[in-house]
Amino acid sequence: MTTPPASVPLDATLEEAARRMAEAHVGALPVVEDDHVAGVITDRDLVVRALARGLSPQVRVEALMSTDPVTVEADTPVPAAMHAMGTIDARHLPVVDNGRLVGVVSFDDLFWFVTSQLDELAAVVNATRKVPDLFHRRQHRTAAR
């Protein structure tokens, strides 16, 4: 997960949200009120729901954000976070601890985590493939004596 999380306050404008996304190199921002997640605004919201409709950059994010966002607790297992992300077809999830925003987990974060786990598993499998071969050779030499 990314910490500290980039976010914007509820009263931020679309222009401020776009700038914050650009500065943080992210495609979604939690919208916070008193450190609690009130919503999420995405780069797609800015383009499709704002710019394409001719909305002013001074409109508040509150007008376009997704409300009642799905969040995950900081101790949520990776498979559960992946499932949550998949069920809502999102690429970012705010991470909370007792309701307070502590991070954001992205599809890319989860992809890299799973990939590293698969690399480690492949190393274990490759190592275990060598063990029977070594045992077989030792056993064969002993039997030949």
Question: What was the pLDDT predicted at 127?
Answer: 80
- Range 56-61 contact pairs with CB under 8 angstroms and sequence separation of 24 or more: 56/14, 57/13, 57/14, 57/15, 57/18, 58/13, 58/14, 58/15, 59/13, 59/14, 60/10, 60/11, 60/12, 60/13, 60/14, 61/8, 61/10, 61/12, 61/13, 61/14, 61/16, 61/17, 61/31
**Does pTM surpass 0.85?**
no
Tell me the pLDDT of the chain (145 aa) as tens digits.
788 999 999 999 999 999 999 999 999 999 999 989 999 999 999 999 999 999 999 999 999 999 989 999 999 998 899 899 999 988 999 999 999 999 999 988 888 888 888 888 888 888 877 766 655 665 555 555 5
Question: What was the pLDDT predicted at 136?
Answer: 60
Question: What was the pLDDT predicted at 140?
Answer: 53
Reduced to 3 states (helix: H, G, I; strand: E, B; else coil), residue 140 is helix
Q: Are the beta carbons of 66 and 40 closer than 8 angstroms?
A: yes
